[in-house]
Structure 1
């Protein structure tokens, strides 16, 4: 059985395709933050993420009438957001390699001295930033957004096997980074 939120999204898409303008407003309220967060994962800049989100909605508005399977709205809109973010990075050359070692030395050299839950979460977040963009995105889509490997494949535009490889490598690298 389909997840209730997917069913609601499907109904909203179908309603909008039939001319109900309020359905788009509800879709916007449900998805805008998710799209913005996804764009931020690529850009690491909230202003750029908001620009990408706005471009994503422009594309959605222009192409939602062509969406044949309303059940796939979530992966469809996230695919658009990912591609827009990558296009934005390419065109604006804002992609900056993140130096994990420098960040660790600067902000948290003794990260495991305290054992509070918040410190552990922060160490994972810092380690996540050290992963290559492709691995970080797959890891976040799989664990935080709970997408299936097949959906991640569609969103990122790579094969399922590539998703599996990136996920495996990301887990392994994350383990090593956290142990440090």
Structure 2
């Protein structure tokens, strides 16, 4: 098995494009599984595997020890997966900071302080994921699609979180005699 990879890598380095097709056929699913193991999203894992192939094709000429192809290629997939996780983490931090800024803006308005305090307390009682969706939707005027893209979740999940948040807010506000 290892010798087969060695031969395919050497043939590709020498210009045989069919050797690449054989490598892709053998390794692509392995790359997808490795990326999925890290990012836990099948579509993103497929994208990472595809991006990894592009890097592998561009840099395979620099691979001197063809017997190291598997570990070298998996390291590229691993690095691409970590890059994706870092970017997603930065996006979430940015969203969180934006939400915190919006909370500050909402809290600075003086009019209707009592109602605003009750609303803010009610929103703070929601689970974190629902808080973010509510704040992006109502204070930032993000569309459902924009929220789903920002949070890297589906539109359906966004709708579900917003619906569940509204239902919980209704119960909380009803408890405080602020019926909607």
TM-score normalised by length of structure 2: 0.49
Structure whose CA Rg is larger: 2
Query: Which structure exhibits the higher relative contact order, with contacts defined as CA atoms closer than 8 Å and separated by 6 or more residues?
Result: 1
TM-score normalised by length of structure 1: 0.49
Structure (1 or 2) with the greater helix fraction:
2
